[in-house]
Amino acid sequence: MTRRIVATCLVLIAVAARSAHSEQASPRDLWPQATAAAQSGNLDSASRKAGQLIDTGRAYNIRTYPLYAESAASLARDADQQKNKALSDWSAAISMTLDPNSPEVAFALAERARDQKNWSSALQLILAGFTKLFGNYRALVLSRSDAAITVCLAFVLTAAIFAIVLFFRYFRAAAHDFREILSRRFRGGSVTVLAFAFLFLPIFFWLGPLWLMLYWFVIFFGYAVFAERVAIIVLLLLTAVTPVILDYTANEIAGLDSPVVVAALASAEQTYVPEALRRLQELSLVAGDNARMSILLGNLHLQEGNQSQAAQNYRKSVALADTAGAHVNIGNLHFLDNDFPAAITEYQKAEKLDPSMAIAFYNHSVASGETYKYDEQAQMQDQAKKIDRALVDRLISNPPGQKVVMYHPSLAESRSLARSIARKGNARELFGSYSWFQPMASLLNPVTLGAILAMALSLLLWLRRRKSGYAGACIKCGRTFCHRCKSSRESATYCTQCIHIYLRRDGVSLDTKRRKLLDVQEYLSGRVRLNRLFATFLPGSAQLLEGTTVAGIIELFLFFCFLSLLLLVGRLAPVLAPGMLAQIIVRIIAGLAIVVIWLIVSLPVYRRRVTG
């Protein structure tokens, strides 16, 4: 008789728990009620609704509400503008409670602190926002992708300036060689004009500046010194991979908005995204049934409190592909209904399908403890620790709100699923143009092919012409010469006149010597002026003109990185933060870095004097 009474009580408790769980309001209904009560001035009711939202989230395996937190942070700023301090303070406090790890909330509250002239709090919140960027998957991917775009832009600009520097260093010698080649077919002054025009040949074929840069790398490769040749090869390789990197980055950014990835993030991070369930349901109608997608749908239904719908999706996943994860989640539903033997049965099925799944053994241990099987509980917990001790220790020290751990597909699996669905024609319009990344297709773009071709032509042209030799330019007066103009036994860095004046010190007429000294002074003064002009606007380029290749490229690249950050922050560059304060701070840091680079790199160029 006593056993019957106890059994009846347990059944009634289970039924009451299930009905209470089903009668709880959905999170999407509670937050509008809280904000409506707060805006009407009933902050006590708003706090109760917000507390009910958080309690409901714990029951539904939800920890954070990023969208609601951002809404509360925005409400705090609006309330400040309306001079409603009570509403502002409540909204600011509740935004941190709804999502304490959100960088967007930290940046928004920093704007509020700035409006209040509370600069110390504003700076602390800005620092916290930057720190939280590394702990938020979406913010981290966006920042990393935008940083990649900024770095690619800096590389391309550095390559372009380096090509211009090569032009100024070697255009005289290259034009001399072109004149020698053309003089075999043409006569008169047209040879000089045509030789100079050959330096800009891509423009006459209506090609853009990028192709002119690649063309200059090809024709000046043979004239360059060893360090410059290495730099040309490296910059051509970077130019070749830049479109591939940008294509991959675009895919990464677009992939964050995929319904599958949004659902996977909501499940893995235990965050509530109101539109995630609807978007994934729409996608499932287009893409068809899928085992992983069914698990994600079940997890999202569970966040809404729809246990029956969640169970249907988990069972559909088992029917499509008998996976351990689906059995774990089915067991969790039995656990939540206090049907512990059925839960243990599902956990055992998961253990057989995937012996390396630690959460299956951990959940089994929890269910065994609920049925007073302590030996089995200890055994299952030890097995879970053998698989992943760090995870089990973390779960023991900070147990989940539902006691058992839900299974969710990994982000890598979800991204793979999103790409496979995106390849289907009827799902492309839901993903956009950059829904998946194809390396081979990405490599077949004009820029990559042109850079690879330019690298090959540079090496072939150099190997073919190095026997006949290249023209040179006198380091004193800039006069060009080749092996036809001057004996190969003479100096390769001075023209014939400068050899007689500066090296041999032969008896040269005073008039000839005076004209040569004027030419030298004019040439060297022009080089100094050109160096100062480049150093003024492009720190590092003067070092390239002077032949300090490695240091010049590094300095120029850093300058373009900080310049891109200064100009693009808030639009593209890292720190896509709401409000202006974070962007202003980044601009200040980038501007100071540019000033420091200019002072260290460019200022010494102004101190150099002409030495004849």
Task: Set out the domains of the chain in order of their start, with CATH numbers.
Answer: 26-132 (1.25.40), 259-431 (1.25.40.10), 509-612 (no CATH)
Tokens standing for residue 65: 């509400």
Q: Cβ contacts of residue 248 below 8 Å, gap of 6+?
A: 437, 442
Q: CA-CA distance, 481 to 490, in Å (whole number)? A: 12
Q: Report the SS3 class of residue 434.
A: coil
Residues 6+ apart with CB under 8 A from 162: 231, 232, 235, 544, 553, 556
pLDDT at 294: 94
Cα angle, residue 303 at apex, residues 299 and 304 outer, rounded to 5°: 120
Looking at residue 17, what is its pLDDT? Answer: 40
Q: Are 219 and 212 in contact (CB under 8 A)?
A: no
Tokens of 461: 């042209």
* Residue 183 φ then ψ, to 5°: -65, -15
Phi, psi torsion values for 310, nearest 5 degrees: -65, -45
Q: What is the dihedral of CA 95, 98, 103, 105, to 10 degrees?
A: -20
Question: What pLDDT, on the 0 to 100 scale, is given for residue 483?
Answer: 66
Taking the chain (612 residues) in runs of 10, the rounded mean pLDDT of each run is 40 40 67 91 92 88 91 91 92 93 90 90 90 86 89 95 96 88 75 87 91 96 94 96 92 85 91 92 84 93 91 94 93 93 94 94 93 92 93 85 87 84 65 67 91 95 86 82 66 71 67 76 86 93 93 96 89 64 89 96 84 56
Q: What tokens were used for 579?
A: 């409000």
In angstroms, the Cα distances linking 294 to 64, 305, 353, 422, 526 are: 23, 16, 18, 17, 72
User: pTM of the prediction?
Assistant: 0.84
Phi, psi (deg, nearest 5) at residue 144: -65, -40
Length of the chain: 612
Q: Which amino acid is at 175?
A: A
> Which of 612, 419, 423 lies closest to 525, judged by CA?
612
In whole angstroms, give the CA distance from residue 65 to residue 56.
12
Q: Which amino acid is at 558?
A: L
- Are the C-beta atoms of residues 302 and 61 closer than 8 Å to each other? yes
- Which pLDDT value is given to residue 505? 66
Please state the φ and ψ torsions of residue 298, each to the nearest 5 degrees. -60, -40
**Within 13 Å of residue 582, how many CA atoms lie on the same side as its CB?**
29
Please report the pLDDT score of residue 5 as a whole number.
Answer: 38
d(CA 256, CA 435): 10
**Composition of the chain by helix, strand, coil, percent to 5:** 75, 0, 25
Cβ atoms of 199 and 439 closer than 8 Å = no
Choose among 309, 218, 239, 300: nearest CA to 265.
300
